[in-house]
Amino acid sequence: MSKLVTELHIIGENGSIFDTDMEYIIPLYQRAYAWEDKQLVQLIEDINDVAEDSNYYIGSLIVSKQFGRYEVVDGQQRLTSLYLLLNCLGIKTKSTLTFACREKIELYP
């Protein structure tokens, strides 16, 4: 039985969820990224309102370990938003988040 992780840090003294050797993949069955300005602004405001000595709990991330990677079952909108936000802020992260893509097909031969 694998160990249940109850808390991951987006930014922390010992690194973050994106500074590990773990790989997260957003599988094909997940809906496309759909957060708009409203959700992103709310996320940033929520984070900004947290006292410096407090924690901010964003919600759950449910994954399934598949072939050495973690397939994101739930939480992909939040995870993707945080990954993009950190990179936009210039906070270096490893490339630990990828998206499954369908192969391009030619519609008209």
Which helix H or strand E contains 25, and what residues bound it?
strand 24-26
Average pLDDT over residues 16-24: 74
Amino acid letter, 92? K
Q: Which residue has the higher pLDDT, 8 or 51?
A: 51
Q: Which residues contact 20 (CB under 8 A, 6 or more apart)?
A: 94, 96
DSSP state of 50: S
The pLDDT, as a whole number, for residue 39 is 92
- Give the separation between CA 37 and CA 12, rounded to whole angstroms: 26
The pLDDT, as a whole number, for residue 2 is 58
Task: Report which of 73, 91, 74 is spatially closest to residue 82, judged by C-alpha positions.
Answer: 91
pTM for the full predicted model? 0.73
> Cβ distance 27 to 100 under 8 Å?
yes
At 57-95, the pLDDT tens digits run 777 888 888 888 889 999 899 888 988 888 888 877 778
Task: Report which of 61, 64, 51, 77 is spatially closest to residue 16, judged by C-alpha positions.
Answer: 61
The pLDDT, as a whole number, for residue 38 is 95
